[in-house]
Amino acid sequence: MSPSLHPINTGPTTLLINQYLPSTKNNLVYCTFVLKSGNIRVLSHILEKRKEVIYIFKMLYRTLIFALLLLFVIPVVNQSDAASKKLDSKYAKYAQFIVIDKSSNKMTYYEKGKAIKTFSVATGKKPSYTPEGLFKIHEKTKNRPYYKERIKGGDPKNPLGDRWLGINVKINGRTSYAYAIHGNNNPSSIGKYISEGCIRMHNKEVRWLFDKVKMNTPVLIQK
């Protein structure tokens, strides 16, 4: 339906403009504008810019919906995900606890049985490379050298990153210092089965974990 103009006063003072505008539901919204006759240019500008005004309102509507999703829907999804990672009751007594799931290459950090944060990790390129069992953090080191290739700690080429959380895996009855949760120099490897047995994390995330966990924090590695 095209717009129509209806004079409400024969004098030069005012005009009544009736304009149909489409709503977001494709219905017609009847809008009435009253302007002084001297402002016909303003009226023309309004009619010419109608599509732009409708576009702006649509964008505002979409932005509002997106903001509501961020505020309410996404936090609920995250809470549900955390709630699904309940710790076995026999481990809930620990102030801190780490679970590494090799089947999904995910690691979850717990405090008093509550899941605090879950990370993607990389584990052994063969199932046997990353040992399974209950261990504990027995070493915390920043900028550990990569002795195998004589790369200094802190070097960007160091595949261990800049944080090392050693776990007390035993080999032939003796504690080994070769296994750890550590950073990396290849972010694309995270989530894959690619290491020689250690658990790799993104550098930013392992720094967060390093600052959180204390010595002797239990670490459960499972299939």
Question: Which candidate, 193, 201, 136, places its Cα nearest to that of 162?
Answer: 201
The tens digit of pLDDT for each residue in 100-147 reads 999 999 999 999 999 999 999 999 999 999 999 999 999 999 999 999
pTM given for the model: 0.62
Cα(48)–Cα(20) distance, integer angstroms: 13
Q: Is pLDDT of 188 > 70? A: yes
Cα(180)–Cα(135) distance, integer angstroms: 11
The tens digit of pLDDT for each residue in 2-41 reads 554 444 444 444 444 444 444 444 444 444 444 444 455 5
Query: 68 is written with which tokens?
Result: 């509501």
Task: Spell out the domains of the chain, with CATH numbers in brackets.
Answer: 4-82 (no CATH), 87-222 (2.40.440.10)
The tens digit of pLDDT for each residue in 204-217 reads 999 999 999 999 99
The DSSP bridge pattern shows strands 114-120 and 106-111 to be antiparallel
Query: Helices 50-68 and 40-48, interaxial angle, to 10°?
Result: 50
Q: Is pLDDT of 70 > 90? A: no
Tell me what percent of the residues of the chain surpass a pLDDT of 90.
56
> What amino acid positions are annotated as catalytic residues?
182, 198
* The dihedral sign for the CA sequence 146, 152, 153, 154: negative
Per-residue CA distances from 45 to 30, 48, 55, 162 (Å): 19, 5, 16, 62
C-alpha dihedral, 28 to 30 to 36 to 41, nearest 10°:
0
